[in-house]
Structure 1
Amino acid sequence: MLDLDRYCDRIGYNGVRRPTIDVLNAILARQPDAITFEALDPLTGKIPDLSPDAVDAKLLDARRGGYCFEQNSLLLRALTALGFETEGLIARVWWMMPPDATPGPWSHMATRIHLDGRDWLADAGFGTCVPTSALDFGTETARKTAHEHFRLKPTTDGWMLEAKLDGDWARVYEVRRAPAEPGEYVRMNEMAATRSHFATDLILARTTPEERIVVSGNRLTRRNQAGILERTHLDVAGLEGAIRSTFQLPFDPSWRMVLERIGSQ
């Protein structure tokens, strides 16, 4: 079972430990800030181990980050330990895809929370556009968060999560109504780690109370609460510095070969 003290210390949460909407929102605001979204293991040929002990050792003890299956499996166990009624969901990503794109696989993990007679979407693992507040499945009304407005629109299979960016609504992902099936996360984790952009592209993301910070390839982007963007191209030294300082990760020398390829592009 998850050591709740270790988890709360890792994300810097020192509030009450009861299953309330305020506690849920506090957790969802803290985890994407304290635990960086990163897929450095797939980029170096490793498939992340999703066993609870492995996730805790990596994200809590080694103070590494992780991608959706690691981040949200940790979140689900933490919320369960806090007394929330939880259920694992799966989604397919539409982020930055053209309107006429073919639907992709169900390859993103999210969580449903049943609280006070309502169902809520909770997610700490979408990286570049993770919602930092719980979203009510029962309404299409836009919810203002510290960063963007989000809304959930019903679809044939579930709900489409959308974010308002620069005045327009953009699709983020479609979350399936039915819960994830046994073994589905394991299969999709292997696919994501070996046959998706995570295996070839450097992706890092951290959402602080003030801004979203993203590295995609050799480009670092900052977007503040007003939506103002700052973009910087990084060389190898800049990428290593960002990993160490901006994203607060313990640097592994085995990553340097990957950074040399990306930083020279």
Structure 2
Amino acid sequence: MTAMNEMFRKRIGFARDEPINFDNLDTILEKAALALPFENVRIMNGSTTEFTEESLKEKILGRNEGGLCYDLNPLLHLFLLENGFDVKLVRGVVFNQAKQKWSETGKTHVAIFLRENGRQYLVDTGFGINIPLKPVPLDGDTVSSRNGEFKVQREASEHGDYCLYLKLKHKDKEWKKGYAFDSKDTVTNLRDLNEIQQIIASHPASGFNKRLLITRLTDKGSFTLAGNSATIWTDGRMEKKEINADQFKKMANDVFGLDV
């Protein structure tokens, strides 16, 4: 077992000697969702680094940070590769729910495309608290997990050939678009992620270069720090409160283990 394989298992709390296969991939995704925060701290404090396999492992496994989609999914991709899965990274365009249009940042979402026994799936641990906790088949079948329902439909567009739809538990009554992705637009080298990171860090339409954001699913819901607010979902009930900079820093450290 490689050091990366062992460190990833330790970070998410998965037994070192337990085999990984498609049947228990749900467990991996659930544990990753509870352990790895979705956050933009490095974007906001200007401390981003060039992408390499070593820098990615050091950031999340060595320093116990989280990251955005282009951090979390590439790391999971490396882990799945080491455990014998047929996977590749694909690029997508997020649908902006507030503006009801596709993000002007373009194909800056990174997700995982997986093949298993002749069937194809979308795997994603880098879509904030909107992540499916199970592989989502690309043939339109709906999957349900504790945080909602998810499906992928084949839809040819300028953004790709598939679209993820979601209906989050306690939040959505109707299906909503998550992101479109192109199964043929793959990331073949980690250096390609530098372009995506640069767009997210500098583009005027980026939602991740305006304020600090740290979020993660919890056993009973989710916990989100965003700018001057803290939003906590517990068993379907939401509590939102205003916080100051000192409270943000304390919660970031106490809840997420992050130094901001």
Q: Residues 28-81 of structure 1: CA distance to partner in whole angstroms, max 9, x if unpaired?
A: 111121111111111012334321111111111111111111111100000111
Cα distance in 2 for partners of 1:49, 1:128 equals: 26
| CA-CA distance at 1:19 after TM superposition | 2.6
Letter of the aligned partner of 2:179 in structure 1?
Y
The normalised TM-score by structure 2 is 0.88
Which TM-score applies when normalising by structure 1? Answer: 0.86
2:196 maps to 1:194:
no
Structure 1 residues 142 and 95, CA gap change in structure 2 (3 angstroms)? farther
Structure 1 counterpart SS, 2:73: helix
2:213 aligned partner: 203
In structure 2, the residue matched to 1:241 is 250
Alignment of 1:129-140 (within 5 A): 129-138=130-139, 140=140
Unaligned 5+ runs, structure 2: none
- Paired amino acid for 2:44: L
Structure 1 residues 210 and 49: alpha-carbon distance in aligned structure 2, compared to 1, 3 A threshold: farther
Amino acid at match of 2:164: L
Within 2, Cα distance between the matches of 1:173 and 1:39?
Answer: 19
Letter aligned with residue 189 of structure 1? Q
Paired position in structure 2 for 1:216: 226
User: Letter of the aligned partner of 1:17 in structure 2?
Assistant: P
Distance 2:255 2:123 in 1: 25
One-letter code of the match for 1:141? D
Change (3 A) 1:224 1:94: farther
Structure 1 match to 2:152:
152
Does the CA contact (< 8 Å) of 1:55 and 1:74 recur in 2? yes
1:159, distance to aligned residue in structure 2 (A): 1.6
What is the CA–CA distance in structure 2 between the aligned matches of 1:217 and 1:161, rounded to whole Å? 28
CA distance in 1, matches of 2:179, 2:145: 17
Kept in 2: contact 1:85–1:114 (CA 8 A): yes
**Counterpart AA for 2:78:** R
**d(CA) in 1 for partners of 2:98, 2:221:** 23
Q: Tell me if the contact between 1:89 and 1:178 (Cα under 8 Å) persists in the aligned partners.
A: yes
Which residue is 2:21 aligned to?
19
Q: CA RMSD in A?
A: 2.0
Residue 127 of structure 1 corresponds to 128
Q: 1:37–1:100: structure 2 CA closer, same or farther, 3 Å change rule?
A: closer
Runs of 5+ in structure 1 lacking a partner? 256-265
What one-letter code is carried by the residue in structure 2 that aligns with 1:126? F
Matches within 5 A, 1:68-79: 68-79=69-80
Deviation per CA, 1:135-182, whole angstroms, max 9, x where unpaired?
1112x2321111111111221122211111431212111121213255
Report sequence identity in percent.
21
2:241 equivalent among 232, 236, 243: 232
Q: Secondary structure at the match of 2:8?
A: helix
1:200 deviation in Å? Answer: 2.0
Aligned residue pair count: 248
Aligned to 1:167: 173
- What SS class does the counterpart of residue 124 from structure 1 fall into? coil
> Quick one: structure 1 residues 203 and 187, their matched pair in 2 at CA, closer, same or farther if it must change by over 3 Å?
same
Conserved? CA contact 2:153–2:162, under 8 Å: yes
Kindly provide the amino acid, as one letter, of the partner of residue 109 in structure 1: V
1:43-82 to 2 correspondences below 5 Å: 43-82=44-83
Q: Partner of 1:199: helix, strand, or coil?
A: coil
